[in-house]
Structure 1
Amino acid sequence: MGINPNHPPVSGTVRRRWALVVALALMLLWGSNYSVQKAVMAQIGPGALVFARYLVTPACAIALLLWRHGWHWPRLERRDWLGLAGLALLGHIAHVNVMTQAMHLSTAFSSALISALGPMFTLLLVRVLHSQRFTRLQVGGVALAMAGVLVFLSDKVALMRTQGLGDLLLLLAALLFSAHTVAASRLFARHGVTLVMAYTTLLAMVPMLLINAPQALQVPWASLGAAVWGALLWSLAVASFAGWLAWGWLNDHLGVARTAPLLYLLPPVAGLISWLALGETFSALKIAGAMMAGVGVAATQFSCNPADGPRRRSP
């Protein structure tokens, strides 16, 4: 019996189904990680969490390099090391410290929603740096997203609450991460995401440990319960490190065009889990602002300028 060319091989269909299962599980994992980190920071503080992160993730990076390259790690040129040092400063020392402090001051839902603005900031930076024009839909999307954020933050900023400061820092963290994404694009193209991520993590380890050591030394680590230790290791080793490896696998199997929209599941998933686990509440104004921001980001990211041509690639 011949093979019908209109139907893909069964093995490919099965792989795509498993990839979809992994994708949905990853969104649940990442969405819950906001609440897990909030719970851990309530016990040890944000500085100690970052300190622990840069003990765990560099060890994971070394293990990954040994698995991929053995003891013969790729050698880089001097200009590449200078670029990696800049990425470590921007993406780790600046972004991670600001993001963690912001999450501690804000809420899990706010952290997920404002972090979802990252793709829009990335596109804006690419557009400005390359002097490209915006479509009307993109301009409308940016305006709608910004208006949604203002609506979402209105109750906090108006009352000068601590959470309002946290949300403003979250905006700064999203902008820092987008700047890191744009700056890293050339090194990603030359050396791959895995190598760049591993090397920048190792370069940032010592500065991050020194910056956060004062807070970490105040934590009674020996008296922490098993639940705190389990949540800490789960958040850092599984949700953060293994999660990004799974995300790379998904991009390879499904393609970025199919995986990128999945990130818009994070705010509602994070909000639902935060409501169930931490008792976070949401006003109608906050929900309306969140929906406006989400629709605006989606319109900005996925609309296409006809002048860019069919070969245009989103960052």
Structure 2
Amino acid sequence: MPAVIQTFLIPALFVWLWSTGFIGGKYGLPYAEPFTMLALRMLLTLVPLALLAWLTKTRWPGWRGAGHLAVTGLLVQGCYLGGVFYAIDQGMSAGVVSLIVGLQPLLTALAAVLFLGESVTGRQWLGLGLGLLGVALVLAEKLGGGAGVPGIPPLTLVWAALALVGISLGTVYQKRFGTGVDLVAGTMIQYTAAGLFFGLGAWLLETREVQWTPQFQLALGWLVFGLSISAILILMWLIRHGAASRVASLFYLVPPVTALEAWLLFDERLGPMAMAGGLVAIIGVALVTIRRAPAAG
């Protein structure tokens, strides 16, 4: 395989697939409530994953390991996806949601300092500050609805914050308790835990009514096969070929890609201050995420 495909195009494809998750949610949410749609997504994803686990003779962890994976699933899948979908459902634009949860590397770095005792460099502290400043600029404009751009309901910030905290703590928890587990087995256990969580939420809080329109079916199908299946398979390939670090370095591109997609598909617009804030936040995340190459000598 040509080196340019292995080192750039495949990681970039993974990042693009990740960005479309926000778009798929926005397409499908007019026809189903968030937890209901996510419960269906988890259920439909488990079927091909089970087939993949059988074909690859997946090694399953013990009960204790499965419990840790279930907690990770509740945080990374349950809180993250639930928060994102509810924020979009209640009026926050896909681009702004993507930008807020795109601060995940920043919050993860802070959580790693607090819970894992990891150190943070001066450059990373600068990145943390820039990331927070950038999001503050975006929210200052969006909450006020300035520059002819519609504002966002303040309550949606609670859901976006839940998503950000969930994926950040889930990442640290997985790093502490979930390493060395077969990727297919780990993914299945996480999706099962999240599916039960979404199913319970849909039963207690929602009507569970679904309008099976072509648009909803397309959105759900893309979320299942484009995101939950294809993105996972690409991630497996990246890890196997030692390119997972490149994915982390490219993740800061997700918010601008999502914003561009949302503008093209939904005419979602950001005003000048929000665009500047988004750029500042992206630079901040890049400073935290991208590691300097070791000095030659």
Query: TM-score by structure 1 length?
Result: 0.81
Q: Does 1:247 align with 2:232?
A: no
Tell me, yes or no, if structure 1 residue 281 matches structure 2 residue 266. no
SS at match of 2:53: helix
The question of whether the paired residues in 2 share the 8 Å contact of 1:85 and 1:203 is answered with: yes
Provide the C-alpha distance between the structure 2 equivalents of 1:56 and 1:19, rounded to a whole number of angstroms.
Answer: 31
Whether contact under 8 Å (1:101, 1:166) holds in the other structure is yes
Which position in structure 2 is the counterpart of 1:95? 80
Alpha-carbon contact 1:27-1:266 (below 8 Å) kept = yes
Q: 1:172 to 1:50 in 2, by over 3 A?
A: same
1:38 matched to which residue of 2?
Answer: 26
Mark the runs of 5 or more structure 2 residues left unpaired by the alignment.
none
Residue range with higher mean Cα deviation, 91-100 or 274-283:
91-100
> Partner of 2:122 in structure 1?
136
Is 2:141–2:271's contact at 8 Å kept on the other side of the alignment? no
- Is the contact made by 1:60 and 1:237 (CA closer than 8 Å) also made in structure 2? no
- After superposing the two structures, state which structure 1 stretch, 109-118 or 276-285, moved more: 109-118
> CA deviation digits over 1:29-66, x for unaligned, max 9?
33333222202112223233112112212223312211
Aligned length: 290
Match of 2:35 among 21, 41, 47: 47
Aligned to 2:137: 151
Give, in whole Å, the separation in 1 of the partners of 2:15 and 2:291: 23
The correspondence for 1:259, drawn from 241, 244, 247, is 247
Q: Distance in 2 between matches of 1:206 and 1:131?
A: 33
Give the Cα separation in 1 of the matches to 2:197 and 2:161. Answer: 24
Residue number in structure 1 paired with 2:193 = 203
Residue identity opposite 1:128 in structure 2: L
Q: Does 1:173 align with 2:163?
A: yes
**What amino acid maps onto 1:89 in structure 2?**
L
Provide the rounded CA distance (Å) in 1 between the counterparts of 2:219 and 2:263: 18
* Secondary structure at 2:180 match in 1: helix
Deviation of 1:187 (Å): 4.3
Matching of residue 82 in structure 1 with residue 67 in structure 2: yes
2:216 aligned with 1:225: no
- For 1:97, the aligned partner's letter is G
2-structure distance, mates of 1:161, 1:104: 15
How far has the Cα of 1:238 moved from its partner? 1.6
Structure 1's 240 and 147: CA in aligned 2 closer, same or farther, altered over 3 A?
A: same
Contact persistence 2:66–2:189 (CA under 8 A): no
Could you say what secondary structure the match of 2:56 adopts? helix
Would you say 1:237 and 2:225 are equivalent positions? yes
Report deviation, 1:87.
2.3
Question: CA RMSD of the aligned region, Å?
Answer: 2.8
Give structure 1 stretches of 5+ with no counterpart.
1-10, 311-315
Identity of aligned residues (%): 23
Partners in 2 of 1:35 and 1:299 — Cα distance?
27
Shift of 1:164: 3.5
Instruction: State which drifts further: 92-101 or 110-119.
Output: 92-101
How far apart, in 1, do the equivalents of 2:131 and 2:244 lie? Answer: 22
Instruction: Indicate the SS of the match to 1:197.
Output: helix
Q: Does 1:190 align with 2:180?
A: yes
Read off the aligned partner of 2:182 and give its amino acid letter: G
Given the superposition, is the C-alpha separation of residues 291 and 168 from structure 1 closer, same or farther in structure 2, using an over 3 Å criterion? farther
Q: Secondary structure at the match of 2:264?
A: helix
Structure 1, 171-180 or 76-85: larger mean CA deviation: 76-85
Q: What is the CA deviation profile of residues 190-234 of structure 1, one whole-angstrom value per residue up to 9, with x for unaligned ones?
A: 3233321212222333332232146363224xxx33232122111
2:113 paired with 1:122: no
